[in-house]
A and B are shown apart, each in its own frame.
Chain A
Amino acid sequence: MKISMTVNGKAVSGDVEGRTLLSGFLRDHLSLTGTHVGCDTAQCGACVVHVNGEAVKSCNMLAAEADGADVGTIEGQATADGSLNVIQQAFQDHHGLQCGFCTPGMVMSAAALLKENPRPSEAEIRKYLEGNLCRCTGYHNIVKAIMAASGQDVGSIAAE
């Protein structure tokens, strides 16, 4: 079937099977391979994108369901001049990533969190990230980076 949507501000369209997942459409049809697939049970969150402003696990949504939607992916997160946005920069500054595989989902989830809660507490961040697995960082620097991105002083949190 034919579908069309806006992805990172650009109009796109494609011909997909009914069973094509949004993650597959982004990766295989649009070559937007920043959206990662780390599981098959909607647990890991590496595939989180924004659909009409909401954080969505793109492996858990059919591409056809996103027909007509406004979709944002990790590739559209950097600022217009190509430099990292505030969340991305905080992840680099605070070593909030190692292998980088979960990172796109983490950044997209963090952006959605900060949109609805601009100054989340540590506990609120940890709770919000329940649907995003990271195996490298032990979450320490991810939580710290999100606190820093929200303008909070993280200097008192132990170690970099």
Chain B
Amino acid sequence: MPKDSGIGASSKRREDVRFLTGAGNYTDDINVHGQTYVHFLRSDIAHGRIKSLDTSTAEAMPGVVKVFTGKDFEGVGGMPCGWEVTDKHGAPMQEPPHPILAQGKVRHVGDPIAAVVADSLEQARDAAEAIDVDIEELPAVIDMKAAAQDGATLVHDDLKNNVCYDWQLGETDDAKVNEVFANAAHVTTLDLVNNRLVANPMEPRVAVGEYKRGTDEYTLFTTSQNPHVIRLLMCAFVLGLPEHKVRVVAPDVGGGFGTKIFHYAEEAFCTFAAKACNRPVKWTSSRSEAFMSDAHGRDHVSKIELALDADNNFIGLRTNTFANLGAYLSTFSSSVPTWLHGTLMAGNYKTPVIQVNVKAMFTNTVPVDAYRGAGRPEATYQLERVVDKAARELGVDPIALRRQNFITQFPYDTPVALTYDTGNYNGTMDKLEAAADLAGFAARRAQSETKGKLRGLGINCYIEACGIAPSNIVGMLGARAGLYDAATVRVNATGSISVMVGAHSHGQGHETAFPQVVADMIGIDESMIEIVHGDTSKIPFGMGTYGSRSLAVCGSAMVKATEKVIDKAKKIAAHLLEASEADIELKDGQFSVAGTDKSVAWGDVTLTAYVPHNYPLEVEPGLEETAFYDPANFTFPSGAYACEVEVDPETGKVSIEAFTAADDFGNIVNPMIVDGQVHGGIGQGIGQALLENCAYDENGQLLSASFMDYAMPRADDVPFYGVDHSSQTPCTHNPLGVKGCGEAGAIGSPPAVVNAVLDALNSGGKAVDHIDMPVSPSRVWAAMNG
């Protein structure tokens, strides 16, 4: 019987009412009295040296307040990178400066050269066209393998080469790895590309900077997943401002998917310019601008080799990856191909020897950073494609091969630095086989064949590491931040509660799900609790929302703070009931003395806390507690996915006929929201597999710079999805037993789709063992006829 409130209930989302009635408050909806508008003049060439830059005509144009260039920021810090990766020889990564506005060189199409602040956006745009800039074009560094060659053109003149780092994880002894492969009964090798993507949350980025001269205070409204992180980075590393004089507000944010984690130059610019112009400064990205200024995702080129013994046990795995970082280091870019990718190469399997090699490259492209899944989709794609290829080469069932190699004992120490606390991969696969009716596939294939279509079934398993992360561990790995989170539970005198959280909701439904937890703990109605997020002047210092961490990390902080509140309330209740604190029980919002009929209501205790007339002298008045929670380990959601496709052999067009996800997210607070998160992830994963591709030409021109050229998944590209979350092994180390569900769909679906297409082609007698994503009709047709 489904619950109708509290943990486990599909409570309807309270935030929906404002979004459905046009009453949301997104950053572009915010207008500050006297505001100006900024337009950035962006480079239209990929790589060049600025020979001259004349803004005098623009400065004299109507409405122009001020024109900024790189010179205005010479004494200001650049955009920082939050993770220092150490290469395999022990040297720190190469870390070039990332100026707010270009200084000397432009390094990608979209690199901002100048900024015009004017009374209206139209005036700013018009004046930007009057800026006279002369750029000497240099050869563009686009192809990663070419960029790694000795003598390649340098993206950054002061670096020794274009390699940010050459990193390794797992077995460091090459001879040992070679020996495993030499002794293997079978080796499967695969070269593949994880296509470059653009996150494209539907709300483009916006920043509004405001400065109050009287109090020397700044406010930045911005489209961010983590306002405190933005404030810290901007104050401490970019502008050199005291944090207590800066307020960062991320109001309703229209989707993030990772790309709104990072601290962007436009945020620092608007804050800086608000003081320089002594007027508020607003920037609203156009979609075209977003394509060339939002951090991109993925873009790996990999070779993966899997060694198996004569019984088809996995005995070794080796990967070599080129990872594109773009022209500059975005905030967390360096961590994605390394600690968020290499550590996941064990997947769900007990492969004893694993070696991961990653060469991260600077190129003349937009910076690349975390996008939904961030490193984990890249790892899963390689691993699950090579496992599937091995099954085909060996003529064994792909599910049986996976099951044979599953990790079954927990906790499990992988050869790539993680300890999985719990899981049940066979149990989850059982759920998938039932939910997807895999027994009926043969009949469905026969049905498709009567229509002249090839039907394929693709299986995929994934493991991910979420709930980032124990601060001491990530500190050792190079993180320049802690990764705890925080919550303050403020009980009002009348018993209602405001919970101020470091997590940020930009579609995840925290305003609904988080109160379900607190309501359950106290036994009061969810409607008595509200979540406050997104404003550094209101919330404790938390690290924000990404990596499927909100409930596992911030939710745990909220549980701890609520426990402190309950402990204190019990002291007050004990006083009122003239009983021992140890005998006080809290149930359904009533404090009672165990074994008696004496009780006092939640609201009477909270009122007493603020009107402490009859009150224990040793207890402070008030009822408000804060907790910080630093996780003991990552959480490890896992799952098994099945995709069924039909391929039209005449055209190569792929249609998704069925998609089923069986996930193990541990305990679940709001099943409706969890299902929605999985749906969205699958939608993006299908987009990556079939449609999306961020393409550059050899000169560094961005070919896919609008929704006309970048194929976003639309409603008729996808089916209804089947989701099953009944396989549940609760996380062993956080109080809610939750693991995180935000990225699973995007991690688990691309290999399932590609595996399905290849299964379809092979069923039609076409011995095709790989097609790169996006698996477009032309690529499928070429593979079939090539």
User: Smallest distance from the beta carbon of A102 to chain B beta carbons, Å?
Assistant: 5
Enumerate chain B residues within 8 angstroms of A103, measured Cβ to Cβ.
19-20
Cα–Cα distance between A97 and B252 once the two chains are bound (Å): 13
* CB <8 Å contact, B714 and A100: no
Q: Is the CB of A143 within 8 A of B672?
A: no
> When A36-B254, A101-B254 are in contact, do A139 and B24 touch as well, CB less than 8 Å?
no
Partner of B202, one of A33, A74, A133, A139: A133
Report, nearest first, the 6 A-B pairs whose CB atoms are least far apart.
A34-B22, A138-B683, A100-B19, A101-B254, A99-B507, A98-B507
- Select A158's contact among B29, B714, B720, beta carbons within 8 Å: B720
Map CB proximity to A onto B717-731 as digits: 1 under 8 Å, 0 otherwise: 010111100000000
B21 A140 Cβ-Cβ under 8 A: no
Identify which of B171-179, B350-358, B600-608, B704-712 touches chain A.
B704-712
Cβ–Cβ < 8 Å partners of A125 in chain B: 715
- Can you list 15 A-B contacts (CB < 8 A)? A38-B254, A44-B707, A91-B20, A95-B676, A98-B508, A99-B203, A100-B19, A100-B507, A133-B712, A135-B199, A137-B676, A138-B686, A138-B745, A141-B676, A143-B715
Interface residues of A in 127-145 (CB under 8 A from B): 127, 129-130, 132-144
Chain B residues with a Cβ under 8 A of chain A: 10, 12-13, 15-24, 26, 28-29, 122, 199-204, 252-255, 257, 286-288, 506-509, 671-673, 675-676, 679-684, 686, 706-708, 712-716, 718, 720-723, 745
A139 B718 Cβ-Cβ under 8 A: yes
Q: Closest B residue to A124 by CB, please name it.
A: B716
Interface contact B253-A41, CB-CB below 8 Å: no
Within the complex, the shortest CB–CB distance from A34 to chain B, in Å, comes to: 2
Q: By the criterion of a CB under 8 Å from any partner CB, how many residues of chain A are at the interface?
A: 60
Q: What's the nearest-Cβ distance from chain B to residue A23, in Å? A: 11
Residue A157, interface by CB 8 Å:
yes
A138 touches B682 (CB 8 A): yes
Within the assembled complex, what's the spacing in Å between the Cα atoms of A98 and B202? 11
CA distance A61 to B745 in the complex (A): 37
> Do B203 and A98 touch (CB < 8 A)?
no
Taking a contact as CB atoms under 8 Å apart, the answer to whether B203 and A36 are in contact is yes
B203 adjacent to A159 (CB under 8 Å): no
Measured CB to CB, the nearest residue on chain A to B685 is A138
With a cutoff of 8 Å between Cβ atoms, the chain B residues found around residue A140 in the complex are 676, 679, 683, 718, 720-721
Q: Which residues of A contact B (CB under 8 A)?
A: 17, 19, 27, 32-41, 43-44, 46, 73-75, 77-78, 84, 88, 91-93, 95, 97-104, 107, 122-123, 125-127, 129-130, 132-144, 157-160
Whether B16 and A92, one on each chain, are in contact in the complex, defined by CB atoms closer than 8 angstroms, is yes
B708 and A135: CB pair below 8 A?
no
A93/B680 in contact, CB under 8 A: no
Asked, given contacts A74-B22, A100-B24, whether A95 binds B672 with beta carbons under 8 Å apart, the answer is yes
In the complex, residue of chain A having the shortest beta-carbon distance to the beta carbon of B15 = A100
Smallest Cβ-Cβ distance to B708: which chain A residue:
A41
Contacts of A135 on B, CB cut-off 8 Å?
199-202, 255, 257, 680, 683-684, 712
Taking a contact as CB atoms under 8 Å apart, the answer to whether A88 and B21 are in contact is yes
Residues of A within 8 A of B203 (CB): 36, 38, 99, 101
| Distance of A135 Cα from B16 Cα, bound (Å) | 16
B673 engages A95 (CB within 8 Å): yes
Q: Give CA–CA (A74, B203) in the complex, Å.
A: 17
Please, how many angstroms separate the alpha-carbon atoms of A55 and B16 in the complex? 22
Report the minimum CB–CB distance from A35 to chain B (whole Å). 7
In the complex formed, the residue of A with least CB distance to B285 is A40
Q: In the complex, what residues of B have CB within 8 A of residue A44's CB?
A: 202, 287, 707
Bound-state Cα–Cα, A137 to B680, Å: 4
Complex Cα distance, B257 from A135, in Å, reads 9
B515 → A minimal CB distance (Å): 16
Collect the chain A residues with CB atoms within 8 Å of residue B20's CB: 74, 77, 84, 88, 91-92, 97, 100, 103, 107
A41–B201 contact, CB under 8 A?
A: no
The CA of A88 and the CA of B22, in the complex, are separated in Å by 11
Q: Cβ of B255 and Cβ of A143 under 8 Å apart? A: no
Given A41-B707, A100-B507, A137-B683 contact (CB < 8 Å): yes
Look across to chain B and name the residue whose beta carbon is closest to the beta carbon of A84.
B20
Closest to B675 in A: A159
In the docked arrangement, what's the CA distance between A19 and B675, Å? 43
Contact indicator B254/A91 (Cβ below 8 Å):
no
Say whether, besides A74-B21, A100-B252, A130-B714, A36 and B26 are in contact (CB < 8 Å): yes
A44-B287, A97-B16 known; A143 vs B706 contact (CB < 8 Å): no
- Which residues from chain A contact B506 at a C-beta distance below 8 Å? 99
Please name all residues of chain A whose beta carbon is closer than 8 Å to the beta carbon of B19 when the two chains form the complex.
97, 99-100, 103-104
Q: Which residues of B contact A157 (CB under 8 A)?
A: 720
In whole Å, how far is A32's beta carbon from the nearest beta carbon of chain B?
A: 7
A107 to B20, CA, bound (A): 8
Chain A: minimal CB distance from B210 (Å):
18
How far apart sit A144 and B719, CA to CA, in the bound complex (Å)?
A: 11
Q: How far is the CA of A38 from the CA of B203 in the complex (A)?
A: 6
B772 to chain A, nearest CB (A): 23
